[in-house]
């Protein structure tokens, strides 16, 4: 087993039994574990060690606090938060295997530009049609009324013709350079 997994497993014992890695994202690695006291499966998200700057750890902590305040059927419940001799972790409910028909659903993306591009790429690779991947490009706007020209991309003023676009439109009108190579 990899040293990071073993170090985390030891740090979480006796409260959690770490079982295996579920996946990786831009900021973290998600593991499947069993919460010993309540005998339930949980997901444990750990901040990537190479990203564990003071600023990133603060953002991760704020994410945990924000999620812990939310109650909605489409948002996982937060059970615990902590750190160990390593990056911080967040314990959430485990949803099991979600069955998503990527060809027949729609994704709405907002957030930092790099995250939006990564999510568009991943959704496209999973088979979601480009016309069903919707995002906002308001981060490219300054004045919001087409006067400054800051948001002029691909022959369009994002503030006048958007700021909501599908990946299909972004590719068709070359609104964001480099996006045409996604998926």
The boundaries of the domain holding residue 51 are 3-93
pLDDT in tens, 36-69: 999 999 999 888 888 888 888 888 888 888 888 8
The 3-state secondary structure of the chain reads CCHHHHHHHHHHCCCEEEEEEEEECCCEEEEEEEECCCCEEEEEEEECHHHCCHHHHHHHHHHHHHHHHCCCCCCCCEEEEEEECEEEEEEEECCCCCCCCHHHCCEEECCCHHHHHHHHHHHHHCCCCHHHEEEECHHHCCCCCCCCCCCEECCEEHHHHCCEEEHHHHHHCCCCCCHHHCC
Is there a single domain that holds both residue 128 and residue 152?
Answer: yes
Is there a single domain that holds both residue 67 and residue 42?
Answer: yes
Is there a single domain that holds both residue 34 and residue 89?
Answer: yes
- What's the domain count of the chain? 2
- What is the CATH classification number for the domain harbouring 56? 3.30.200.20
Is there a single domain that holds both residue 79 and residue 119?
Answer: no
Instruction: Give the range among 76-80, 132-136, 157-161 with minimum mean pLDDT.
Output: 157-161
Top mean pLDDT of 85-89, 126-130, 149-153, 156-160 is at 126-130
pLDDT band at 16 (very low <50, low <70, confident <90, very high): very high
Is there a single domain that holds both residue 106 and residue 54?
Answer: no
Res 173 pLDDT > 70: yes
Res 144 pLDDT > 70: no
pLDDT of 36 reads 96
Which distant-in-sequence residues (6+ apart) come within 8 Å of 164 by Cβ? Answer: 134, 135, 136, 137
pTM: 0.58
Q: Are the CB atoms for 103 and 129 separated by under 8 Å?
A: yes
Is there a single domain that holds both residue 120 and residue 170?
Answer: yes
- Average pLDDT of the chain is 81
Q: Please, is 59 exposed, middle or buried when counting C-beta atoms within 10 Å of its C-beta (0-12, 13-18, 19+)?
A: middle
pLDDT in tens, 101-134: 878 888 888 777 777 777 888 888 878 899 999 8
Is there a single domain that holds both residue 22 and residue 73?
Answer: yes
Is there a single domain that holds both residue 81 and residue 57?
Answer: yes
67, 93, 119 - which closes a domain: 93
pLDDT of 80 reads 92
Res 183 pLDDT > 60: no
pLDDT of 33 reads 95
């Amino acid at each position: 087993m990899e040293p990071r997994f073993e170090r985390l497993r030891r740090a979480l014992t006796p409260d959690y039994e770490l079982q295996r890695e579920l996946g990786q994202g831009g900021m973290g690695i998600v593991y499947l574990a069993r919460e010993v006291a309540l005998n339930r499966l949980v997901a444990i998200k750990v901040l990537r060690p190479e990203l564990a700057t003071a600023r990133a750890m603060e953002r991760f902590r704020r994410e945990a606090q924000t999620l812990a305040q939310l109650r909605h059927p489409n948002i996982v419940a937060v059970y615990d938060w902590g750190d160990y001799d390593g990056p911080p972790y967040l314990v959430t409910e485990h949803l099991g295997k979600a069955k998503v028909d990527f060809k027949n659903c729609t994704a709405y993306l907002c957030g930092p530009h790099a995250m939006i591009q990564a999510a568009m790429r991943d959704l496209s690779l999973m088979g979601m049609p480009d016309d069903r991947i919707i995002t906002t490009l308001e981060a490219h706007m300054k004045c919001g009324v087409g006067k400054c020209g800051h948001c002029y991309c691909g022959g369009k003023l994002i503030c006048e013709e958007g700021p909501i676009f599908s990946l299909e439109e972004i590719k068709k009108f070359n609104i964001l350079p480099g996006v045409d190579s996604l998926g």
